[in-house]
Amino acid sequence: MSDQERNIVATGLALPSGLSRRVFLQLAGAAGVSLAMTPAVSRMAEAAEIVRGKIANQVSTPANDYWAVWTRAFDEAAKALGLETQELFHQNDTARQLAQVRSLPASQAKMLIGCVEPAGSLPTVARFCQDNQIFYVPSWESPAWFTPPDIGDYYVSFVTPNSIEGAYEVAKALFESIGGEGKVVHIAGMATPTDTYRTLGLMQAAKEYPGIQIVGGLRANWDREQARKVMLSMVTAHPDMKAVFAQNDNMALGVLSVLRERKLTNVKVSGVDGLPEGLKEVAKGEQMVATHTSLPPYGAGFTTVLAFDALNGWKPTLGERLLFTGSALATAENAAKIEAAIYGKDSKPFDWALMSRALNPETWDPQNKITAIDPDTYWGPFPDGKDRLNPIYKGAAESGAFSKVDALYAAHYKTGPVKA
């Protein structure tokens, strides 16, 4: 390759847009510049096929610690993929949420990720995205028996951690910390499917410990200050409590502040989500004995990658339309290691570009455990409406639709901060 051609290739590879690269190659050819298919030119030709664009992230509020972490990771992942970003915060206001979604075509957004509230608004958002050709990958909340095939290809996948499993593992660690018996105050979150699943996980664990008595159950809506208010009433109502099961870290930290003010340092606490502050508390080996890190940076980045891949032609199989992302139990033994790996200074726990099948068709790596969701099992706790399940799922488990997905992602899972 001549110096002139080498300079042309370097210039073409530096262009940010796939369309720009294609136009660049066409203009070079029209100008009589011969670019033989050398390895460098081959790479440029492959890059020319990648489509970029704007991706929107819609969650409740960055004032919530979880969504603040999520939003930072979304920005990082989008940057790694060369995407323009748009931030939307609906403040759990349904009207505002829908108005923001309806503004996406005007902003030329091609992709959307995030979490709706309430879950019942998901079909409306998904239908709008389908009608306006916006690739949509929501997380956490979905009405029972509603699936992406109900809408179409632009509702790419629904992605969530396994909330029953996470709460079950945390609850067992909490019960063990108090010797398997005593009164445990339960502080619920917002009335969402995720909260229901976490309660189910708690109760599943409690069945294995006949000496445990679950009390309370008041809602603090995932909020630290509301959890403080609830805890103040629980201290009065149940002065003999041995532990508190809070259904996210934010509420667990509110609980801890009350217990410390009242000098109730013998009462153990657990949370869920594995946010930095919660992991640091668990690592101390004191009152907060466990949390379950749902890896919020991963949830944001993984859904961003799925939307990007869909924009570039990837079509998920039936088993990939509903996905569990892996999470990890954090106790005093491993919490510091997890916190450093996910949130430590200068840590880069995930390679977002490597996660992409559009960019790495053969060597893509999910960097976390990913498994298919069988809707019959997932929504089993909500039997009403089962007849609404899309008939495309009939016989899916028996045909291997879910087990094949599990095997595929396991085979590609090579690296990651919580890989055993």
Measured in whole angstroms, how far is the alpha carbon of residue 117 from the centre of its chain? 15
CB contact at 8 A, 299 and 70? yes
| 185 DSSP β-pair partners | 215, 244
Tell me 273's DSSP state: B
pLDDT at residue 13 in the model: 46
pLDDT at residue 40 in the model: 47
pLDDT exceeds 90 at position 42: no
Report the CATH fold assignment for 54-161+295-327+349-412.
Rossmann fold (3.40.50)
Nearest to 390 by CA among 375, 378, 400, 403: 375
pLDDT exceeds 60 at position 16: no
pLDDT at residue 7 in the model: 55
Q: Which residue carries 């294995």 as its tokens? A: 208
Stretch 291-297: mean pLDDT, rounded?
93
pLDDT exceeds 50 at position 1: no
Q: What is the phi/psi pair of residue 354, to 5°?
A: -65, -25
In whole angstroms, give the CA distance from residue 113 to residue 58.
6
Which is more confidently placed, 7 or 173? 173
Stretch 283-306: mean pLDDT, rounded?
96
pLDDT at residue 31 in the model: 55
Same fold, 54-161+295-327+349-412 and 164-293: yes
pLDDT exceeds 70 at position 193: yes
pLDDT at residue 217 in the model: 94
Mark out the alpha helices in 211-323 (DSSP H runs).
224-237, 249-261, 276-283, 296-311
Residues 6+ apart with CB under 8 A from 13: 21, 40, 43, 44, 47
Q: How far from 366 is each of 298, 341, 356, 362, CA to CA, in Å?
A: 10, 17, 8, 12
In whole angstroms, give the CA distance from residue 276 to residue 278.
5
Stretch 102-118: mean pLDDT, rounded?
96
pLDDT at residue 26 in the model: 54
Pairing label, strands 322-325, 54-59: unpaired
Which region among 30-34, 168-172, 322-326 has the lowest average model confidence (pLDDT)?
30-34
Which region among 17-21, 87-91, 171-175, 295-299 has the lowest average model confidence (pLDDT)?
17-21
In whole angstroms, give the CA distance from residue 63 to residue 225.
12
Q: What is the phi/psi pair of residue 113, to 5°?
A: -130, 175
Stretch 356-369: mean pLDDT, rounded?
97
Stretch 384-395: mean pLDDT, rounded?
96
| 183 DSSP β-pair partners | 213, 241
DSSP string across 234-257: HHHH-TTEEEEEESSHHHHHHHHH
Question: 354 in helix, strand or coil?
Answer: helix
Residues 6+ apart with CB under 8 A from 354: 360, 363, 364, 365, 367
pLDDT at residue 371 in the model: 98
pLDDT exceeds 50 at position 18: no
pLDDT exceeds 90 at position 23: no
Question: 113 in helix, strand or coil?
Answer: strand
Cα Rg, the chain, nearest whole Å: 24
Stretch 34-51: mean pLDDT, rounded?
56
Question: 371 in helix, strand or coil?
Answer: strand
Question: With bands split at pLDDT 50, 70 and 90, how would you rate the model's confidence at 265?
Answer: very high
Stretch 178-189: mean pLDDT, rounded?
97
Q: What is the mean pLDDT of the chain?
A: 91
CB atoms under 10 Å from CB of 341, counted, come to 14
pLDDT at residue 27 in the model: 57
Q: How far from 87 is each of 52, 53, 57, 95, 123, CA to CA, in Å?
A: 17, 14, 5, 17, 21
pLDDT at residue 2 in the model: 54
pLDDT at residue 19 in the model: 44
List the domain boundaries for the chain.
54-161+295-327+349-412, 164-293
The CATH number of 164-293, from 2.40.50.1020, 3.40.50.2300, 3.40.50.150, 1.20.120.160, is: 3.40.50.2300
| 184 DSSP β-pair partners | 214, 243
pLDDT tens-digit map of 198-249: 999 999 999 999 999 999 999 999 999 999 999 999 999 999 999 999 999 9
pLDDT exceeds 60 at position 39: no
Question: With bands split at pLDDT 50, 70 and 90, how would you rate the model's confidence at 8?
Answer: low
In whole angstroms, give the CA distance from residue 399 to residue 73.
36
| 186 DSSP β-pair partners | 216, 245
What tokens does 293 get? 């890190």
Stretch 87-108: mean pLDDT, rounded?
96
Stretch 368-384: mean pLDDT, rounded?
96
In whole angstroms, give the CA distance from residue 337 to residue 227.
28
pLDDT at residue 346 in the model: 82
pLDDT exceeds 80 at position 322: yes
